[in-house]
């Protein structure tokens, strides 16, 4: 089951992050401002989630992140939108 979430997560992030915009810079630009050390909206700190997808740590949080992006809830309309969303 956890492996399934990682496959879905990887596919979703691959679809939203271009080769020019690696994973960490994307998170810093679009997520950490509201889900990081300065703010902790929704009781979520993206900067503290494990990036070790193979081990499965924090997989349930990453799955929720993907769900909220897919639903259009994140990023909020008043925040900068990733280029893939504005095309």
CA dihedral 58, 71, 14, 28 (to 10 degrees): -60
Determine contact, residues 65/7, Cβ cutoff 8 Å.
Answer: no
Domain encompassing residue 31: 2-86
Task: State if pTM tops 0.85.
Answer: no
Res 53: pLDDT: 79
Residue 17: pLDDT over 80: no
Of the chain, the percentage scoring pLDDT greater than 70 comes to 70
For residue 59, what is the enclosing H or E element?
helix 59-71
Residue 64: pLDDT over 80: yes
Which residues, 6+ apart, have CB-to-CB distance to 33 below 8 Å?
A: 39, 79
Res 61: pLDDT: 92
Number of domains comprising the chain: 1
Average pLDDT over residues 34-62: 90
């Amino acid at each position: 089951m956890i492996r399934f979430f990682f496959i879905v997560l990887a596919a979703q992030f691959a679809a939203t992050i271009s080769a020019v915009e690696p994973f960490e810079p994307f998170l810093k630009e679009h997520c950490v401002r509201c889900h990081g050390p300065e703010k902790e909206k929704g009781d979520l700190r993206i900067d503290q989630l494990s990036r070790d997808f193979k081990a499965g740590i924090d997989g349930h949080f990453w799955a929720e992140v993907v769900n909220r992006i897919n639903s259009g809830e994140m990023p909020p309309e008043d925040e900068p939108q990733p280029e893939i969303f504005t095309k």
